[in-house]
Amino acid sequence: MSDPLLSVEGLRTHFHTDEGTVKAVDGVSFEVSRGETVCLVGESGSGKTVACESITKLVPSPPGEIVDGRVTFDGDDLTDRPPSGLTGVRGGRIAHVFQNPQGALDPVYSIGAQIVEAIQLHDDASDGAARERAIGLLERVGIPEAGSRFDEYPHEFSGGMKQRVVIAMALAGEPDLLIADEPTTALDVTTQAGILDLLNDIKAERDMAILFVTHDLGVVAEIADRVVVFYAGKVMERGGVHAVFETPAHPYTQALFRCLPGRGERETIGGSFPDPTDPLDGCRFHPRCPHAIEVCTEGDQPPLEPVDADHTASCVFHGEGYDAAAIREGAASAARSTAARTDRTGSARTGDRSDAAGSAGRTDGGRSATEDDR
Amino acid sequence: MATETDSPADLRSDAIDWSEVDDGRLAASRRTQAFVAALCVLVALFVYDTVTGYDLWIGAWYTSSRIDWLYLVSLVVFAFYVVVPLARNRERTVQYWRRFRTNRLAVLCLLYLVVFFGLGTASLLVLGRPEINIQYSYQPPLFFTIEAGTIAQNCAGQVTGPPIEQYCHGSLRFPLGTNLSGQSMLGLALAGMGVALVVALVTSMIMVPIATVVGVTAGYSGGWVDDALMRYVDIQQTVPAFLIYILLSLVYGASLFLIVLTFGLLSWGGVARLVRSEVKKRREELYITAAESAGASRLRIVRKHILPNVSNTVVTATTRQIPFLILAEAAIAFIGKIGDENVPSWGEAIALGFDVSRFPKTWWLVAVPAVFLVVTVFSFSVVGDALRDTLDPRGEA
């Protein structure tokens, strides 16, 4: 982690609306290293997407505003550049794949023309050469008969195929980082698995980093190397996928695992999501937290305290002077829920899965679990 | 598109690509080059015409005004930016046609408009005004009669009846009858078509670019730019173009050129408003964000992704604006004093037809131009509505 590809520090993105300032992202930090998949996990509205779109300043402004924070990409500070100064980075080095492939393709152009456009934005390739490359990309992402489908329009493709086209467009600039914002959420489960396999393979092939946004822990298990848990615009927990899945350290993460549809008893998180225009004092999760104590309701969100090596959680119980054992019980019960899933998932969570080859080989088991859960 | 992709240049030419300014570097497409070439030819002809004073056209134009040149420019624009894209993108055109033809009335009206376009152009460039035959004044239309000797002094057709109450029948020579000076009403109607066509095409050519630029700028920029432009449109829409024309005609003299210019410069507000709201909606589309995320510049996004997606709105809104323009021109010509007396407008023909001493008997003087005017206005309205149903993506099931 000495030289991360992308580093986000203290990012705050606010939206100025009629109802007040929505603090969608309120001071988050995370890092992505080369060739690594980092998953941002959290409920809807927790700020994952806004955090991603803030990296290349895609957040519409106004009403959005990046209030504070530092984004460093491959040694370059992107923070102070105006959006017009980011066109080289966008697509060329950092590419986006969006949740809804339906909308991400312009209906008036053939898909081939759109990929050619993406190629020519970052490369002075001739029309012929760009066309060759576009067909190659379409083949790579698994579009059958890419040559003949090149001139078809988006409406002639299924959702899954469209997402493959969008991925091909994202790959056109040969990016170092692919930001995939819930790329499988709008797709049905079998299609989802195919897209995840594709992303895993491409990542291994190109040594590309992926920043993957999802609310689906099943997907996280399948693709992540590291996990960042978001809640109400804050990072609750950060760590390697193993550490987070086996010993979830933050009560919120534990609660998330407990509401997974697994074999064990399922619990929902009581209470409701905090008002983003008026964030609470103290830990954002304290009204819903079973372990909350007096100190949780005061001050700011607790700092990310180390849990074990390369695993931190924003919870006072992991800080100095508190007994982390108080919430260990929660970790154990959450891990049991996870285990209920892993029973059927096979060795997904227990095997050695830090290398890319391992994750590629593991996806079949992981996929069947995801499907069964639906 | 799918059928003619062997040449790579076709890749970029889907829908309407407006110009080829590409991130600062200028790369003109073949169509743009051809368009510029055609414009150059026109300019050369214009210079020749003004310098030498020779008239190049086979038939003479009615006035010495510049409007015939404007018409030719509009014709070139229309050919390159409406006909060529439709012809190139055959698949899409066929798709549009399939949807369009479900509306039978609109197909009929479109057919009329095609004829209108052809005959209007012919009348402008070749036919000119019908010739005067004083001896054949007030000939009735075919299948109708009028008292011979009193109103129709001579009769081109059959004369029937007893010697004192003879009736002159309509003849094939003047199928729609003639007026006081013996001009064929059919010829006058065709000449009026030319005028209406000029109004429709030239005014659109003035309106479309302004409305598009203003609408896209307001919609895409938002903020104070949007507010300023839309408040200006508000103000402009409260000022009737009709009134402005009357004032200007007092200063510069009445002419069709002035009509077209005034209405062209003052009637784009509604179109711009529609374009703006469409742009605002399109801006929010994910493919715009996707294009941004792929590193496309603002100019490129506007040109490649916003404009083609709002071009349908422009076409529809403009088509629906044309009937008002034709009617306004006819109204001005009808009033007479403020109209261009050299221009054989339908409005003028209707006004001249109301000759108190003879009116009910010589009804065709009014009826012929009025029917043409109504049919034309009606056709534009129906086709405009049908185009909206065809092109508007919101109508898609």
What integer is the mean pLDDT of A15-37? Answer: 84
pLDDT exceeds cutoff 80 at B384: yes
Q: Is A123 on the interface with B (CB under 8 A)?
A: no
E strand or H helix at A32: strand A20-32
Tens-digit pLDDT profile for residues A157-203: 888 888 888 888 888 888 888 888 888 887 788 888 888 888 888 88
CA–CA min distance B252, chain A (Å): 46
In the DSSP assignment, the letter for residue A164 is H
> A37 has which bridge partners?
A210
Closest partner CB to A103 (pick from B9, B286, B309): B286
Tens-digit pLDDT profile for residues B178-231: 877 778 888 888 888 988 998 899 999 899 999 999 999 999 888 889 999 999
Tens-digit pLDDT profile for residues B162-185: 777 777 777 777 788 787 777 888
Confidence at A296, pLDDT banded by 50, 70, 90: confident
pLDDT exceeds cutoff 80 at A13: yes
Domain ranges of chain B: 2-130+184-395, 132-182
pLDDT at residue number B309: 83
Interchain contact, B294 vs A90, CB within 8 Å = yes
pLDDT exceeds cutoff 50 at B16: no
Interchain contact, A58 vs B304, CB within 8 Å = no
Q: Is B303 on the interface with A (CB under 8 A)?
A: no
Interchain contact, B11 vs A107, CB within 8 Å = no
Q: Is A82 on the interface with B (CB under 8 A)?
A: no
pLDDT at residue number B57: 55
What integer is the mean pLDDT of A124-150? Answer: 85
pLDDT exceeds cutoff 90 at B114: yes
What integer is the mean pLDDT of A62-90? Answer: 80
- Residues in chain A with CB shorter than 8 Å from the CB of B20 are none
| 3-class DSSP assignment, residue A39 | strand
pLDDT at residue number B15: 40
Q: Is B164 on the interface with A (CB under 8 A)?
A: no
What integer is the mean pLDDT of A121-149? Answer: 84
Tens-digit pLDDT profile for residues B116-144: 999 988 887 777 777 777 777 777 777 77
pLDDT top residue among B325 and A349: B325
- Residues in chain B with CB shorter than 8 Å from the CB of A163 are none
> A313 has which bridge partners?
A237, A305
Question: How many other CB atoms are found less than 10 A from the CB of residue B121?
Answer: 19
pLDDT exceeds cutoff 80 at B268: yes
pLDDT top residue among B109 and A72: B109
Q: Is A131 on the interface with B (CB under 8 A)?
A: yes
Closest partner CB to A106 (pick from B2, B223, B287): B287
Interchain contact, A96 vs B298, CB within 8 Å = no
pLDDT exceeds cutoff 60 at A14: yes
B2-130+184-395: which CATH architecture?
Orthogonal Bundle (1.10)
pLDDT exceeds cutoff 70 at B392: no
Are the beta carbons of A369 and A220 closer than 8 angstroms? no
pLDDT exceeds cutoff 80 at B52: no
Q: Is B95 on the interface with A (CB under 8 A)?
A: no
Are the beta carbons of B214 and B269 closer than 8 angstroms? no
Confidence at A69, pLDDT banded by 50, 70, 90: confident
pLDDT exceeds cutoff 50 at B4: no
The ipTM value here is 0.72
Are the beta carbons of A78 and A86 closer than 8 angstroms? yes
